[in-house]
Chains A and B, each alone.
Chain A
Amino acid sequence: MRLRLIKKFFFPRLSLTIVLLILTLIIAFLAGKEFLVQRQSEPIFPSSGLSYHKKLSDYFPALRNTWGDTDVYIFEGKEPGGCILITGGTHPNEPAGFLTAVILIENIFVDKGKVVIIPRANASAFTHSDPQEGSPQRFFISTAKGKRFFRLGSRLTNPIHQWPDPAIYINPSGQKLSGSEVRNLNRCYPGRPDGLLTEKIAFAIMEVIRQEKIDLGIDVHESAPEYPVINALVFHENSSELAALVAINMESFGLKLRLEASPPNLRGLSHREWGDAAGILAVLIETPNASHGRLKGKPSPDLIVEGIDKFYPRASRSGRLFVDYPETGIPLKDRVGRHLASIISLVESFNELYPSKKIKINNIPDPNEVALKGLGFFLHSPS
């Protein structure tokens, strides 16, 4: 009797439970696999002009074997000259910053002076995306021999690598910020050698500046089209003449550059602390990126690459944006092209102001050519 009851009620439920359990495990396995894909780093193929390939931990060993360690590419000319630092990927949800650094690494040769490039300044932030945003993990660019993938990460360090956030964050420069900013690399300068992971990354980048004797630091970013600092160059007051020259030189590319002074009371940012703590010329450049704006429609790899969005042109027509946003979008190739034009203008202007520290970089892709031929033309094939 009891056996019959068990057979009747328990076995069907047990088998259902087992089926559900197996299904759950399959879903968890697939989701986990997808989750771990984000940790797979995209390959970068440096040009033959590369002099050294280092790690950030070479400058600050405490970062070794942590998720904060990252690649540092150094191009050194035969002749001495000035030294430039270019950082991309401070915010991995701003893809033009990262792609500009990659394009430079894969193309340039330096004849005079030195160029130091850190394409994934916050490597940890590349390993996850912002929750509840529906952001794609990757986007793709076609090259001559196949597609290359690039990750779209988050603005902040992965909470798996740095947790928990405090309620209020007091950064190394003493500024009070909301708790999550403790994982924002561009609020943690000049860093703390004994601090949290993001502060250690910031400190390590300051060490690169000190040890490589950097003269000019360029932090490459993007901003949402509704943000006022757009198509802009933010400059430390020690770089005001340089910034003015850049804006004038940018006109030769048919591009208008908005200049914004770095407020001295806004602490922890590259354009403030690189100048204050290391005494170098410090600038930050921005292009409009719909994929991390608040007004965007459906997030997708196409939105990142093509920049075509349903709502931004409407917002633009209503005068809600600080940039004209056409129906045809603002594609990644144009945003990278604008950054390249800014970097070319920065180097030209630096050379004009500091002729004894001239820097000569060859083979920077021409911004108009990038717009015409696309990014893939200037990227190495995937294998």
Chain B
Amino acid sequence: MEIKKTITSSLMFFLFYLFAASSPDLPKFSQPALITSAGQNAEVQMVAVLAKRAGIDHILNKMATGQDLEGYKSLLLVLGASLKGLGAAGIDINKELERVKSLIEFSRQKDIPILCLHLGGEERRGAQSDQFIKACLPAAKMVIVVKSGNKDGLFTRMCQDLGIPLVEVEKISDALEPLKNSFSK
């Protein structure tokens, strides 16, 4: 009788935990994940740090192509153009757009879900960054954005039109929780 009671309460607790830990509206992603930037920004490194802190099995590849996605179950695209980053990678913006588009195409073919993140705020917006945002968002399953980067409502409008869940956070470190939750089982 006592054992039955313990099993029932444990089951109840487990179900409650599952309910509390998961947000039913947000899509789920699987591990391992490949992290790359769309625009060679430095925030990609911060996403790798957050992924490490969230305990997500991941690899960071700044110049990932379709072939590199083989064996990965999720793609994390960190949005925003950096001219210094593009210079450091030795490519121009058109080459980078080409790489990102081919990566998106490959993930579509292999049915690998894409999580887009924009953590650079207002400073990582502008015509060049917006090219990447507009190219990537239609393929995203979910978007996480630091609020100041969505001052003009571009992310809100696009996500509403495309029917993609959008998570807005105040600061970069706040992106840890939604990232963790979206990979939790």
Same complex for A and B? Answer: yes
Residues of A within 8 A of B (CB): 228-229, 235, 237, 240-241, 243-245, 247-248, 251, 256, 258-266, 322
A238 to B149, alpha carbons, bound, how many Å? 28
A259 in contact with B43 (CB, 8 Å): yes
**Can you add 20 more A-B contacts, CB < 8 Å, to A245-B49, A247-B42, A247-B46?**
A237-B88, A240-B42, A243-B42, A244-B42, A244-B49, A247-B172, A248-B49, A248-B172, A251-B172, A251-B173, A258-B42, A258-B123, A259-B42, A260-B42, A261-B40, A261-B84, A261-B85, A263-B87, A264-B90, A266-B87
* Minimal beta-carbon separation of A212 from chain B (angstroms): 28
- Interface CB pairs A-B, < 8 A, 10: A240-B45, A243-B45, A244-B46, A244-B48, A247-B42, A259-B42, A260-B82, A262-B88, A263-B87, A263-B88
Majority secondary structure of chain B interface residues (helix, strand, loop or mixed): helix
B49 in contact with A264 (CB, 8 Å): no
* Minimal beta-carbon separation of A350 from chain B (angstroms): 14
On chain A, the residues within 8 Å of B32 by CB distance are none
The reply to whether the CB of B121 lies closer than 8 angstroms to some CB of chain A is yes
B43 in contact with A256 (CB, 8 Å): no
* Minimal beta-carbon separation of A309 from chain B (angstroms): 21
On chain B, the residues within 8 Å of A241 by CB distance are 45, 48-49
The 7 closest A-B pairs by CB, nearest first: A259-B42, A244-B45, A244-B46, A261-B88, A263-B88, A263-B87, A244-B49
* Minimal beta-carbon separation of A287 from chain B (angstroms): 15
On chain A, the residues within 8 Å of B83 by CB distance are 228
* B90-129 contact mask (Cβ, 8 Å, vs A): 1 or 0: 1000000000000000000000000000000101000000
Residue of A nearest to B121 (CB): A256
A237 to B56, alpha carbons, bound, how many Å? 23
A248 to B173, alpha carbons, bound, how many Å? 6
* Minimal beta-carbon separation of A258 from chain B (angstroms): 6
On chain B, the residues within 8 Å of A261 by CB distance are 40, 42, 82, 84-85, 88
